[in-house]
Structure 1
Amino acid sequence: MSDRSRTLFFFKTTILLLILLTVPFSLWARSDSMQIMSKNILILNSYGADYSWTNSQQKGAMSVFHNLDISNTIRVAYMDSKSLDTDKYHKYLLEILQEKFGGVRFDGILATDNDAMLFLSKYAHDLFGDIPILATGINGYRDRELPQGITYAIKENASHLATLQEAIRLQSNAKNCYILADITTTSKALISEIQQIEQQLSTKITFHYLNNLSFEELIAQVALGSPDDIYYLLPFFKDAAGNSFSEGRVARSLAQVSPAPIFVSWNFQLNKGTLGGTVLSGYNFGVAGATALLDLINGKPVTNLSEESNVAEFIIDYEVAGRYGIKTSAFPRDVKFINKPPSFIDKHIEVLLPGAIIILILTTILVLIAKMLKKEQIINKTSQQVLRLKEEIIDTQRELVTTLGEVIESRSHETGNHVKRVAQFSRLIGEKIGLSKEDLDLLEMASPLHDVGKIGIPDAILNSPAKLSDTDYSTMKQHTSIGKSILQFSNRKLLAAARYIAHQHHERWNGTGYPQGKSGEEIHIFARITTLADVYDALSNKRSYKEAWPEKRVLEYLQKESGEYFDPELVRVFIENIDEIREIRLKFMGDTYDEIQEAG
């Protein structure tokens, strides 16, 4: 066998071995992936889909399942036990679940809240066999064993102690604490939890449990109370008379008649006229429950997530606190207020912040110029020194004005090279039409301020990637008048030139521009030149609302608009000197400027 044949044989053998080793691994990986994708999970919710606590838990759980890309295997059912919770109903529900899911082999079940857990403890084995069942948001099992058939439970552990301690501190004259509760299984468990911590709260306060009253009796009891009393509302959906209530109705009704603030410990009870407290989030329990269930299904050890899921925030309704005369200073520093009206700064930050920046920049300019003038007076001994100082002042003005233009352009995500290019284009055009050196210097220094008025335009409008609405476009057009107002405080040649440019650079040769509708030579020559330079550079460069145009398309547009948008003489001069224009573009390309495409 030749060396060439031996090498070819070795190469083919190596490839074959790699294929033989790779195929089984690929099949195994695919099989494992398919195994994960084939998981079937049932979420059984104790309450209805219109109950925000259940909705929050559902969203939290689905956020985990969606991330694992198995959302198409999730089945969801609602017991709606807040509306109906009898043995007869449970039997009907069992028949429905048998009919609906009898042919499905579930890998695990997530139960939200107590009623779903108890129902599954009683019927899950007959329905689904022996599978992992994880319950989340469970009350009343802090020191008790879980019901039979429940693999794991994440306990709710409402922050009764923290909320009631804050209530006692705020209501320092209180002698009575009324626990407002309904007759559901959940409320019974919560009352038991509160009874276990009574002695930790205060020996001076008597606790009263109003859980055996009709809705009307409860309203009357609270309305006749004292402003010094403490009212703590548990989730309330069914009164002693058997009447069911939509979420929030009882809280709103009690808040209207209560002589004292009502404290709560669940976030779904907020924005109902209640004051607040250390509240729990259903979303957290949904996330923790789904995560733990997947661990159970995949044979991983499940850690105790009870405390992790019991993350609570101290939240107070600002409007309710004010209604009861409670000052914000009465609350701890870690309080989170809702319904707090925005401050003046919050309301106007989009205008105030840019305004503050422009004032700071202008002040800096004035301070620097003042220092330069003072320096000029000190060293004004010889004409040569004076000349050097004047040149230094002019250079400083040029740099400061350019810097100011760059800052303004950066608000619309433009680089500083944009204003440098516009300044150089403008000077070149001015040279070709015969402007004096003094006018050329003024034009070059003033043109970077053409968009100074944009400092007063909100970012949302300035950087909108979509076509502006008529209202937003009207707001955007105001930047020309704003620019004039900013620069009208001085008649020095530089600022006067900048003022003409800022105010008139959106006027059109045919009179259809804004803000004054000037036409032809009514428009200042500086503004006409800057307009042409600015439009050319804007079309040639990428913006938030468009891609960069090729040079051929840009030049065709300039020729088309000659005599309409632009001064026709300036367009002619501009195109005749396009090679020098390209040189300026290359010199000031920057890191975001697109490559120059050849015309034609």
Structure 2
Amino acid sequence: MNIKKIVTLTFVVIILLILATFFLNAVLLTKLEENNQSRKEISKLVLMQENMNILVKDATTTTNKKELYDTKKEFHKYEKMFEELKNKLIIKDKDDFLDFFIKDIHKNSKILNHLALLSKSEKEIEKNFDNIYNLQLEQIELKNLFSENYPKENILRTNLEQDILKTKNIRLIKSFSDIKYYSKEVLFQYKEKEYLDTWIEKIESLSNSYENRKIKDYLEIVKVIGDYVIRLNILELNEKSLQRTIYEIVNRNKELNLKIEEEIETITSEFIANTFTFMIILLLITILIIIFLSIKVNKNVALSFNEVENKVQEGLSTIKNLNKEIEETQREVVFTMGAIGETRSKETGNHVKRVAEYSKLLALYVGLPEKEAEMLKQASPMHDIGKVAIPDAILNKPGRFDEKERKIMDTHAKLGFEMLKHSNRPLLKCASTVALEHHEKWDGTGYPRKLKGEDIHIYGRITALADVFDALGSDRCYKKAWDDERIFNLFREERGKHFDPKLIDIFFEHLDEFLKIRETFKDNL
């Protein structure tokens, strides 16, 4: 094969590799978005079942029929939503073109198995809720009947006591005194049939000694009230047994939900790491083919010095353009990944753009070279990439995190570093440092490694300030945007605590430039 054909073939291969790189990039971004949506829908399933579990518990503590009916209505609403979302996710979602390259996250065999178990548990909860509902409804009715007859016993007891006292018969008065030791309150509290039988026996004994219609009426009301209480006791015992069964299911569901979240995090992390590795390999193959082409041309073509020089310049220009294109593709992927990470936590649209501009400005004024400052600008959007592995239920929680949720949330810095650390590319190495250290604090109270002072990389210190400045000035699902004066006061207070004192001084010295960036890239309302 002559050199012309080799050159032509090589360029065709290079073009195909570049097209493959762009195609892979498109597949990656599309599947990330699809899997992000799947994560949200799976998290909704988990959250709906947790709400159903709570409603089951609420049903056992409801004290009136309306509240119980409202609880049942709310439960069936979640039940219907759960079935609709499950069918959409598992049954109606057919394979599309991209699924031949990368499977949807919810079609993973382990996830499918966990979802099947989740669905089975949901059916068990439905069945047990109906049983709890019927038991609780019957208890409420019995308690209402008890309450209706409660004052009758008091009235009959008082009238009977007055009649007996009028007789001035010491034996009758003593017999009635024995009855006074028994009360419906004690019976209701302990619900013991032996107690009721003894009480009735005392009343019947008095009835044998004293002919009075009021004694028969009193005996009848005590039997009625006692029947209510004993039936209540049976219902409560049945309910406790049923509650134990339900709580076992609820606890099992909690463990299952955690397994689902952990499995999703593992699959997502592996997917991102493998895709990045494959892209880097593809880029390296492209560069090697270009080098091969240069060597082949140099060995087989006899050209004059000027012709060689021209050819070399053309080759270098081609390599430069290809490298530039590769770097642009890499920067686009980094920025897009950062944007996806922010989108998952519902951050404002231009948050990553503003953080990037702030970071470059701080880098230049702190004395970093133009090229390094530009690299930090390109890498800073990846500071929160680890959030793609944080569950939606935690990531988008509108209120404060509890201790367990905060620990999970804090892992996003380490997760982001783990995703990026394997690359030797300067841009991705810079991004991995930013992801790991942007939550470290100057005084050593940050995370994940509690670094202090200049032990924190300058990239982490810069991104920390840029990220906090923009986050405080933007609306979030858990807070409203702060006004500028409040932000500036916090920065002054945190100088030498959270933030590098030198960077704080630079920030205030060039405050107008930071405000101009914020205005230029403000979010569209």
Q: Provide the TM-score with structure 1 as the length reference.
A: 0.43
**Structure having the larger proportion of residues in strand:** 1
**Structure having the larger proportion of residues in helix:** 2
Q: Provide the TM-score with structure 2 as the length reference.
A: 0.49
Ranked by relative contact order (alpha carbons within 8 Å, sequence separation 6 or more), the top structure is 2
